């Protein structure tokens, strides 16, 4: 998955997804890459790479007083987004209210980051739209 804001670009890949014993919860290992120089090239030496793990656990509390005790924040460079098991990522920054913060997302099939052309007209970029739900199933 690609994410962009202005001329900054990031890539996210889930490398492993593992369910917990309690249905509906689990963890994922991810790799993210960030390019903030405006080139969109993930093969440059100033590209930052991060590996991490997020874990969505069952909520603690009741109703509006419930909260997540797992680590559900994934980072792509300076961008932070909430993760929801098994493979759902919010389209607004972690810790902020749902809304449009200028991020756009696109899916790409690539095994090597160096082959990704973030400027390709073939990419379809999605932005936050409260009136439109976009769910994409990957093979």
CA dist 9 to 3, 28, 39, 57, 65, Å? Answer: 6, 22, 9, 29, 36
Whether the Cβ atoms of residue 20 and residue 57 lie closer than 8 Å to each other: yes
pLDDT at 136: 65
Residue 114, classed as helix, strand or coil, is helix
Whether the pLDDT of residue 137 is over 80: the answer is no
* pTM for the whole structure: 0.84
Domain chopping of the chain, boundaries: 2-127
pLDDT at 139: 46
Q: Which residue has the tokens 């082959």?
A: 115
Digit-coded pLDDT (tens) for 63-96? 888 878 888 999 999 999 999 888 788 889 998 9
> pLDDT tier at 138 (50, 70, 90 boundaries)?
low
| Number of C-beta neighbours around residue 98 at 10 A | 10
Whether the pLDDT of residue 4 is over 80: the answer is yes
Angle at 87 between CA 135 and CA 115, to 5 degrees: 85
Residues whose CB falls within 8 Å of the CB of residue 120, separated by 6 or more in sequence, listed in order: none
Taking the C-alpha atoms of 55, 24, 19 and 95 in order, what is their torsion angle to the nearest 10 degrees? -20
Residues whose CB falls within 8 Å of the CB of residue 80, separated by 6 or more in sequence, listed in order: 73, 74, 93, 94, 95
pLDDT at 65: 84
Digit-coded pLDDT (tens) for 8-27? 999 999 999 999 988 889 99
Q: Which two tokens stand for residue 104?
A: 């756009």
pLDDT at 130: 85
Digit-coded pLDDT (tens) for 107-130? 898 888 888 999 999 999 999 888
Whether the pLDDT of residue 2 is over 90: the answer is yes
């Amino acid at each position: 998955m690609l994410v962009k804001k202005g001329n900054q670009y990031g890539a996210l890949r889930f490398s492993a997804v593992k369910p917990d014993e309690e249905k509906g919860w689990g963890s994922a290992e991810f790799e993210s890459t960030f390019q903030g120089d405006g080139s969109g090239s993930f093969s440059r030496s100033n590209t930052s790479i991060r590996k991490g793990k997020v874990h969505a656990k069952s909520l603690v509390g009741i109703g509006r007083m419930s909260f997540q005790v797992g680590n559900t924040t994934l980072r792509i460079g300076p961008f932070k987004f909430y993760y929801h098991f098994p493979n759902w990522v919010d389209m607004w920054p972690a810790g902020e209210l749902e809304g449009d913060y200028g991020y756009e997302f696109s899916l790409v099939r690539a095994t090597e980051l160096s082959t990704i052309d973030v400027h390709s007209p073939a990419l379809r970029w999605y932005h936050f739209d409260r009136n439109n739900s976009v769910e994409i199933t990957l093979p």
